[in-house]
Amino acid sequence: MLKKGCVDDLKSGALNRANGMIVLPMCHYPRGLSKTLLDEYVKALGPNKTLLDHFHAERERLGGNHNAAFISSRYQDTFSLSAKGVAELERFAKLSADRDVYFVCQCHLDQRCHRELLLIMARRWWGAKTELRTFSYPNFERRLGDSPGEIRQTC
């Protein structure tokens, strides 16, 4: 099954490799995170730099409100994956049939995050089993086609 985790839980030991495969699908590797705590760092599954910079600017403008910044930056309207990212997601979707795979990010579990968008794609395109999502992303789901990699650019 595909699941979500956060870097803080990884650092504290609340989540570890005994729980399943630990994958870091982020644009930038987090400071202070030992590489021994995870199985793979996959930059191609993270947001592109432009989207991430816009999100960070919005979060600052909104006084640190993560979820409001996710919405105001139109994250679910613009997030997409490269062909390499789609291939990596397919690989993890297939691996998750036999073992738990955790997508770990710096976002907390009560925050909107691209991890949930990855779960939506994996479920739609390859029928992967995924844990329940915390939030809904209707705009993103409308953008997704049924063929792997098919993400429309506008809603």
Determine whether 70 is exposed, middle or buried from the number of CB atoms within 10 Å of its CB (0-12, 13-18, 19+).
buried
Please report the pLDDT score of residue 153 as a whole number: 83
- Below-50 pLDDT ranges, the chain: 155
Separation CA 56–CA 68 (nearest Å)? 11
Please report the pLDDT score of residue 88 as a whole number: 98
Please report the pLDDT score of residue 21 as a whole number: 98
Q: 45 in helix, strand or coil? A: helix
